[in-house]
Chain A
Amino acid sequence: MKNKWKLLAILSVAMILIASVAPAKAYFTTYATGKGSVEIHLGYRDKITETMKQWTKSIDIKADDDAVPQYIRVKVFYDDVYTCTIEAGSNWEEGETDDFGFTYYNFIPPVYAGQSTLNDFENAEFLVKIKEPEKDVEVGTEFNVIVVYECTQVLYNADGTRQDPDWSRSLTVTETLGGEE
């Protein structure tokens, strides 16, 4: 009996407290969402083909089908046993010279995916002519002609124009044309 009155007292206090709670408010709200993404493709893969004929090496550089646009340059250097001359078409221009006096040749236009310097550009031949040695060169004399290829990705300005090639970020491949006389 005593517990019943206690329960009634508790219930009364609870109801008084509930009555003092402010009513909840609901507002008109809504939302809409959206999401999107774009893939970023970087990287390139080039195939360098060299054809040697009568002491003359012809060079062709081909970019892979999914390569990003890139600039290419070439440098040829050799020891003084032989003399090499470079014959390059008008799409090549002489670039900077290193401390040893060897010159870079820059391929002027960017090379895009699937393009080959010899097949897709005019005046793009690059010939390394090794001067035929004198007939009295001793058998067993070694010679080395080193060809250095460098490539760097084409970057763009905010207005969509191409930036000048940044060779400080280039990747380098060195190939030695060597042999024994």
Chain B
Amino acid sequence: MAKLKKILRSPITTIAMFAVAIGLLLTGTIGGARALQRVETQVYQSRVQTQDIGITIVENKEEVGWRKYVRKEDGTADGSWSEQKAELLQNMVPEGEVFTLGVRYPEVVSVKNSGNIDSFVRVTIYKYFAVIDEKGNEVKLTELDPSLIHLNLVNTDSTWIIDEDKYSETEERIVLYYSKALEVEEETDPFIDQVWVDNSLATMVTKEYDKVEDGVNYHVFEAVYDYDGIRFYVEIQVDAVQTHNAEAAILSSWGRAVKIDGNTLSLAD
């Protein structure tokens, strides 16, 4: 035992360990050198294009938000990156009309693959009520139930999968996965097609009566609603990931276990 200790403590052992460590580090990071027979041919040109991933939000058949590479006329990327955040619901209420509770407004939203590789996509939707304070800041109304904002989800029995995992679906948030790989330039089926706010918001009223003093022949009465002037919000985030090694890519990027069978995605328990 004493002899073993003496060997381990000796400088020669330390130097040997260091040499082994160097060797392991080098072999782990440097690929083996290969020798090839070299044949010279006439000079020719080839075009090399790197892969790029891009995604676009489509609202009522109009591309309103995206993140993608800009493409030249021949379809190749010109190297510049294009990004735009979508402004949703801008044209939902017809011009000249006032938003009305209970009325279902058309709002068709889908996703388009604007990259040059196939992708799997998912959508996260947030809905909530808020007001704008005096400083212009958005202040969320946490006492108002977000379920009063109705989004009519469509194609959830076919191409879109609702993630009902307790960490995904809440009163305020819905997560959807597209069950097919989205090919280049392909657009998904819509995942929502109507938006409306519940009538029950109009039942929350503070009554007031005001008698006008000047003039004796008329009165004024006024109804003040608790939530007059508030806004309802819808936020959408669309994520896209490569189809190659998709299970690992989705788990790493989105933190969700899925099963990929060919070009089909399903959620793993």
Residues on A facing B (Cβ under 8 Å): 5, 8-9, 11-13, 15-16, 18-20, 25, 27-52, 68-69, 149, 151, 153, 155-160, 163, 169, 171, 173, 175
Distance A146 CA – B227 CA, assembled complex (angstroms): 32
Distance A39 CA – B232 CA, assembled complex (angstroms): 7
Q: Is the CB of B221 within 8 A of A149?
A: yes
Closest residue on chain B to residue A46 by CB atoms: B221
Distance A87 CA – B55 CA, assembled complex (angstroms): 67
Q: Is the CB of A171 within 8 A of B239?
A: no
Known contacts A37-B233, A38-B232; is-contact A50 B217 (Cβ 8 Å): yes
Number of interface residues of B (CB under 8 A): 83
Distance A5 CA – B117 CA, assembled complex (angstroms): 54
Distance A158 CA – B14 CA, assembled complex (angstroms): 81
B190 at the interface (CB under 8 A from A): no
Interface stretch (choices B31-39, B60-68, B165-173): B60-68
Counting from the closest, the 7 A-B pairs by CB-CB distance are A34-B86, A36-B88, A36-B89, A42-B225, A15-B21, A156-B102, A28-B242
Instruction: Give the residues in chain B near A39, CB-CB below 8 Å.
Output: 99, 229-231
A27 to chain B, nearest CB (A): 4
Instruction: Give the residues in chain A near B25, CB-CB below 8 Å.
Output: 15, 18-19
B17 at the interface (CB under 8 A from A): yes
Distance A46 CA – B211 CA, assembled complex (angstroms): 11
B44 at the interface (CB under 8 A from A): no
Closest residue on chain A to residue B222 by CB atoms: A45
Q: Is the CB of A30 within 8 A of B67?
A: yes
Contacts A/B (CB < 8 Å), 21 sampled: A19-B21, A19-B24, A28-B249, A29-B242, A30-B239, A31-B240, A33-B57, A34-B59, A34-B87, A35-B86, A40-B101, A40-B201, A40-B231, A42-B225, A44-B223, A68-B100, A153-B223, A155-B199, A156-B102, A169-B205, A171-B221
B85 to chain A, nearest CB (A): 5
Distance A18 CA – B28 CA, assembled complex (angstroms): 10
Instruction: Give the residues in chain A near B227, CB-CB below 8 Å.
Output: 40, 42
Q: Is the CB of B219 within 8 A of A36?
A: no
Q: Is the CB of B238 within 8 A of A32?
A: yes
Residues on B facing A (Cβ under 8 Å): 11, 14-15, 17-18, 20-22, 24-25, 28, 51-57, 59, 64-68, 83, 85-90, 92-93, 98-104, 115, 117, 119, 130, 196-197, 199, 201-203, 205, 207, 209, 217-225, 227-242, 245, 248-249, 252-253
Closest residue on chain B to residue A39 by CB atoms: B231
Closest residue on chain B to residue A9 by CB atoms: B14
Instruction: Give the residues in chain B near A156, CB-CB below 8 Å.
Output: 100-103, 199
Instruction: Give the residues in chain A near B235, CB-CB below 8 Å.
Output: 33-36
Known contacts A12-B21, A34-B64; is-contact A29 B240 (Cβ 8 Å): yes
Q: Which of A12, A27, A160 contacts B241 (CB 8 A)?
A: A27
Instruction: Give the residues in chain A near B117, CB-CB below 8 Å.
Output: 28
Known contacts A32-B66, A34-B57, A35-B85; is-contact A15 B22 (Cβ 8 Å): yes
Q: Is the CB of A48 within 8 A of B55?
A: no
A158 to chain B, nearest CB (A): 5
Q: Is the CB of A12 within 8 A of B20?
A: yes
Q: Which of B85, B98, B115, B220 contacts A34 (CB 8 A)?
A: B85
B205 to chain A, nearest CB (A): 7
Q: Which of B11, B99, B228 contacts A5 (CB 8 A)?
A: B11
Q: Is the CB of A49 within 8 A of B217?
A: yes
Closest residue on chain A to residue B52 by CB atoms: A28
Q: Is the CB of A50 within 8 A of B51?
A: no
Q: Which of A11, A12, A52 has the most CB of B within 10 A?
A: A12
